[in-house]
Each structure stands twice: as C-alpha cells, then as structure tokens.
Amino acid sequence: MGLTLAEKILKAHLVEGEFKKGSQIAIRMDQTLTQDATGTMAYIEYCAMGVPRVRTEKSVAYIDHNTLQSGFENADDHRFIGSVAKKHGISFSRPGNGICHQVHLERFGAPGKTLIGSDSHTPTGGGLGMIAIGAGGLDVAVAMGGGTYYITYPKIIKVELKGKLSPWVSAKDVILEVLRRLSVKGGVGYIVEYCGEGVKTLSVPERATITNMGAELGATTSIFPSDENTLEFLKAQGREDVYTPLSADPDAVYDKELVIDLSQLEPLAACPHSPDNVKPVRELAGMKIDQCCIGSCTNSSFVDMMKVAYILDGKTCCPSVSLSIAPGSKQVLSMISQNGALTKMIDAGARILESACGPCIGMGQSPNSKGISLRTFNRNFEGRSGTRDAGVYLVSPETAAASALNGVMTDPRTLGDMPQFKLPEKFYINDNMIELPAPESEMDKVEILRGPNIAGYPETKPLADSLSVPCSLKVGDNITTDHIMPAGAKILPLRSNIPEISKHCFTVCDEKFPERAKQLGASVIVGGENYGQGSSREHAALAPLYLGVKAVIVKSFARIHKANLINAGILPLTFKNPEDYDKISQGDTVEFSGLREAVANGRDIVAKVGGKEISLDLDISERDREIMLAGGLLDYTRENLSK
C-alpha cells in the first residue's frame, strides 16, 4: 500500500511513536517561524528553557502584526525579539519586510521540509510541498530548542482537482468551495492533500492561498505536490537548489475524498460571520458596500496585486467606498512600484498600507458602524474587524476590486475578457531587511533588551488532586480565540504582558468575566462544540491560566487551542454525554477528586455538580498526561532538560 505525500514527509521526520492512524507521533521540525503578536511570549518561553542556540535548520522571527506603534509597547517588543534573535541564532525579518507566511514562502520554504509556526496560517507553506503546521508559541519554542513536535497521526482528505479555473475565478474561490462543503469543523484531525490534473494549472502563490485558508477547516495542515510549477517559482526566487519533486504514490490510500471541477466554480463569498457561510457572488450582486480591503497572507501576492491594478487602471474607486491595499511583502511592493502598478492603484483612490497584517487582525481600517466590508482575508469572525456590528465578507481580489469601483458587490465576470496573468521569470530579490544572527562565537556579547511591558510567564503549579471551584463562564458553540482573547490595536500590544492582557479575556462575551474570574481565584469554563477555533494564539490559554481557570469543559475542541490548554496546564475536558452540558450553569460549584490518579492512568474524570455526577473525557496522550501532572509544558520541558 502506497503512501500519501503528507505521510511520506511525516515518515521521513518521524522521531517517536507508531506510524498508525490515531496514535501520537513526534516529528522533527526543520524550520520555525514566529510573528511579533505571538513571538514575544514564544521567546520569553525559549529563554526560560536555557538553550543557548536554536537547533533547527532555519528559524525566522517576523515583525508583521503589531506594526502600529501608538505607544512604546510594540517598539519595545520588536527590540526584544530582535535582540533574542541575534543572540540565539534566529534570522530577524524587520518591520516592513512583509507578512511572515508570504515572506517565508518567497525566501525560505522548501519542498519536503517541516515547518512549525506560532501562527495558525503557517500551513501557507503547504503550497510549496511542505508539512507546515500552526501551533502555540511554547510548542515553537520547544522546537527551536531541538525538541520534537507531537501530533496525533492524522487522517488524510484527498481533494482531487479537475479542469481549469474560468476567467475571473480564482484560488480564493477554490478554498471557499472546500469550506462550503466541509465546514469549519470538517478538517479537524485531518491533513488536506490536493492532487489531480487541475493542480498543474495553479501556481505556487495560488496553491498557498488554498493551503493558507485550510486553517479555517480546522485541519492540521494542507499540502500540494512539488512539481514543475514549484520549480518555476523557486527558480524565479533564485532558490532552485532547494527543489525536489514530491507526490503521493499512485496507490496511496485516503480516509476521505473530495472532487472539485475547477471549470465549474464561480466567484464566491463567505458571508458574516464564518468562513464556511459561503454563497455565490452573483446571488449577492448589487448589495451596497462601504469598504474593500485587499491584502493579508491569503491574497497579497505579486499576481494578486497585478490583477487588482489591471481592474483599477484608469478608473476611480466609488466615492462611498474606502479601498485599502496592502502588498504582502517588500518584494511585491518594490516590484509593483517599479512596474507602475502601484501608481494605477494610487490613481484609482486606493489607500496603500504597509506590507503587514493590518486590517486582517483589526489593526486599523475598521469599517463604519453597521458597515459592509469586503476583504480578501481568511477570517470574518464577529468583531474581528474592530467594528462589532460590521458585516464582513471574504472574497477574491478580483471581486473586491470590481466591487470597489461600483460601490456594490460585483461579480468580476462582468469585467469582460481577462488577460493572462503570469508569474515573473525572476522576482526582484533584496533581503536587506532580514538581519542575520550573530556568529556563535559572539553570541555571549549580545544583550537581551527588555522593556517595561515585557512580563514573565504566568505562575504554574503541578496538578492538584482535588478541586472545588465555581463555573465562572458558560458559552455556546464555535467560540473562537477572538472571543477568548481579542486582537485589535488596543489589545495586541499587551501580548507580552499577561497580567494586563488578561483584563480583556472573554470581554467579547462577558465584560465582567476578567474581574469575576480574578475574584474567584480558581474556576472552570464551560463551552459547546468547536471551542477555540481560529488563531493559534496561546494567549487564549495563558490569560485564563493567569485568571485561575483550572479546567475547560466543552462538547468538542479545536486542535490548536486544545494543545495550548495542555501546554498551559489547564485540563481540556469533554462531556462523555453532550447533553450534560445543560447540567452546569454559570455560578455552579464543580467538584473533582482523585484527579492525579485519574489523569496518570487515563481514567474517566467525574465531576460533581449539585449532587449530580457528570462523566468527562480527558482525551490526551500519555505524554500530555505527564505534561498536565507537571503543571504545563514549560515545567515538563525544564524537568526533562535537567535530567
């Protein structure tokens, strides 16, 4: 029986565990990436482990999230990250160099390699034929220190692509179609692997758009083969030496299969407030809009920008629409500046933003109240834009640009004939904004620069044997990490200061939660299905940890958030009977006894609420049980390093 492409790479990097579906395996990580919103804490954790020099093939620290410097906090964090990178062997991508996923795809990604990043959209690298996985910062810190990354051996979904995209239909429409069919929960426990004749019609940046938004499926990662298109892209980047052809065996066996005829697709839009709430653009055509934002790690490649410039050329954006454009990297910005495309955008009335995440994470460009915003981004969760009552639609750059001109949702197929947009034979290469680390012989001379906003890791303790704690909050289904730990210009600068950022924890759901949880001292949280979907931000676990949350009891978890809870030493419990969700109310006292023995031996955990017993499942690996007993991954890692 042959292997899938994902299985081939996983097997080549297997360090520990049985290569069997559903079992836990440990894989070696070749590369790591961080960004500044999660990176500061990741480097605080890395320094706490006491490993002097990173042990990966390549580790890169990117500054792309907190680039709006309205106070000292972000600048201090950037200075801290830069000094850690210089001292410990990490390349440092300076502010303005671009969004981590796009720059990594352009300058560092390589077929067949493994990559772990402290951002949920790290699977962008799958467009190059990598196993690229988003994780919490502590998992990335451990990987930088030479540790392995543990995952459950995933199932594989085969997505066979047939045919070729029609004019004005794009890669964004492909992944929106996958989301429409599978939902935001459909990829949990899976790797999504693309194959078929249609793959050959997609460039690496187009493939990266698709793997990027695979994160919205809840998938472990997504991957494309490495073929002649991959070689063409790497040659254009001057990196053909890292190319290797990779594909699945002809007799590979998959756990689920999906067939998509590219020629049958049409422009699509994800409607508020979920990436899987997908409708054809033609059904929404004529809807008045207020804003268009083009960019993000999903759709800001060179070809994306050239399509937008072509559509806007010689025209003017509708007066009632605010149009902003953010090229994804300095490379792209330089190229469209050199060839005149940038001038076409500016002349059309577009507001040009820096090469950073910006509006995607609520860092500026919030729409007007009750505004309708079209965005080429990857998430449209309620309030993520910075405007609570805005309606955000996820669309392709083609749809966004056409709509910006007309002031209403517009099907780009009305634009007439589409010219052929090709990758350049050679990209403009200038890596002057990537600082290399100090030589190992000089690392001891480098000083770590810590500002007053940089606090330590929250205090952790070994798991208690018994607990009697109140339920401090009860929430419903599809709670995202944006609900738990909001982003935005006011909150993101506090990512290095857990005591301060915890004051905003769950305020989207209940403004009084932080104060209530702190007063209670210790508590549990109860939730529904797909709890913790969205970003990889470990702050959604660290803030509750600081506020005294000992356990989270839900119907089901999103993968990365569950891992982050384990890393923080918070029990991730699921109802054995989902109907028991109704037996716990906010304010009820939840009692546990014999916890350490139950966790150590993999037994069911029983909670008592108002005299009733509720059976709970702790579905984690043997290693995760040791982490829980130790009080979290940082304590567990320190213990093992000392041994």
Residue 438 falls inside a structural domain: no
Q: Which of 155, 144, 152 is nearest to 190 (CA)?
A: 155
Distance CA 74, CA 220 (A): 30
Q: Are residues 192 and 275 in the same domain?
A: no
CA 178 to chain centre: 18
Q: Are residues 40 and 131 in the same domain?
A: yes
Q: Name the band, by pLDDT with cuts 50, 70 and 90, for residue 48.
A: confident
pLDDT at residue 267 greater than cutoff 90? yes
What pLDDT, on the 0 to 100 scale, is given for residue 641? 65
φ, ψ (nearest 5 deg) of residue 448: -80, 125
What pLDDT, on the 0 to 100 scale, is given for residue 489? 81
What pLDDT, on the 0 to 100 scale, is given for residue 272? 97
pLDDT at residue 479 greater than cutoff 90? yes
Q: Are residues 356 and 476 in the same domain?
A: no
Residue 574 falls inside a structural domain: yes
Residue in 226, 396, 535, 621 annotated catalytic: 535
φ, ψ (nearest 5 deg) of residue 329: -150, 165
Distance CA 603, CA 584 (A): 22
Residue in 78, 88, 375, 379 annotated catalytic: 379
What pLDDT, on the 0 to 100 scale, is given for residue 450? 93
Q: Is 604 labeled as catalytic in the residue annotation?
A: no
Residue 182 falls inside a structural domain: yes
Q: Are residues 376 and 406 in the same domain?
A: yes
Residue 495 falls inside a structural domain: yes
- Please write the tens of the pLDDT for every residue from 386-405: 999 999 999 999 999 999 99
Residue 213 falls inside a structural domain: yes
Residue in 30, 36, 64, 76 annotated catalytic: 64
- Please write the tens of the pLDDT for every residue from 436-455: 999 999 999 999 999 998 88
Q: Is 406 left (phi over 0), alpha (psi -120 to 50) or beta?
A: alpha
Distance CA 352, CA 267 (A): 25
What pLDDT, on the 0 to 100 scale, is given for residue 642? 62
CATH code of residue 356: 3.30.499.10
Tell me the sheet residues that pair with 270: 278, 394
Q: Are residues 227 and 275 in the same domain?
A: no
Q: Are residues 248 and 99 in the same domain?
A: yes
Q: Name the band, by pLDDT with cuts 50, 70 and 90, for residue 68.
A: confident
Residue in 101, 207, 413, 537 annotated catalytic: 537
Helices vs. strands in the chain: H and E counts, helices first = 21, 27
Q: Which of 528, 527, 503 is nearest to 513 (CA)?
A: 503
Q: Is 119 labeled as catalytic in the residue annotation?
A: yes
What pLDDT, on the 0 to 100 scale, is given for residue 487? 85
Mean pLDDT computed over 458-478: 95
Residue 338 falls inside a structural domain: yes
What pLDDT, on the 0 to 100 scale, is given for residue 92? 98
Q: Are strands 14-16 and 155-162 parallel, antiparallel or unpaired?
A: unpaired
Q: Are residues 287 and 391 in the same domain?
A: yes
- Helix spans in 521-621 (H): 539-546, 559-568, 595-601
**Of 232, 264, 296, which closes a domain?**
264
- Please write the tens of the pLDDT for every residue from 105-159: 999 999 999 999 999 999 999 999 999 999 999 999 999 999 999 999 999 999 9
CB-CB neighbours of 589 under 10 Å? 15
CATH code of residue 629: 3.20.19.10
Q: How many domains would you assign to the chain?
A: 3
Residue in 13, 65, 504, 561 annotated catalytic: 65
Which H or E run includes 608? Answer: strand 605-609
* Geometric angle at alpha carbon 93, from 88 and 99, rounded to 5°: 135
The residue count of the chain comes to 643
pLDDT at residue 517 greater than cutoff 80? yes
Residue 88 preceded by cis peptide, ω within 30 = no
Q: Are residues 184 and 168 in the same domain?
A: yes
**Of 264, 282, 313, which closes a domain?**
264
**Of 233, 264, 295, which closes a domain?**
264
Q: Which domain holds residue 325?
A: 269-412
Distance CA 531, CA 361 (A): 20
Instruction: Answer whether 297's CB lies under 8 Å from 100's CB.
Output: yes
* Average pLDDT of the chain to the nearest whole number: 96
Q: Are residues 253 and 331 in the same domain?
A: no
Q: Are residues 204 and 74 in the same domain?
A: yes
Q: Are residues 36 and 11 in the same domain?
A: yes
Residue 432 falls inside a structural domain: no
Q: Which of 373, 368, 364 is nearest to 387 (CA)?
A: 368
Q: Are residues 260 and 304 in the same domain?
A: no
Residue 509 falls inside a structural domain: yes
DSSP class per residue in 326-392: --SBHHHHHHHHHSSHHHHHHHTTPEEPPSS-GGGGTSS-PPPTT-EEEE-SS---TTTTS-TT-EE
Residue in 30, 36, 77, 119 annotated catalytic: 119
Q: Residues 6 or more apart from 371 whose CB is under 8 A from it?
A: 290, 291, 387, 390, 391
Mean pLDDT computed over 611-620: 95
Q: Is 375 labeled as catalytic in the residue annotation?
A: no
What pLDDT, on the 0 to 100 scale, is given for residue 492? 86
Q: Is 239 labeled as catalytic in the residue annotation?
A: no
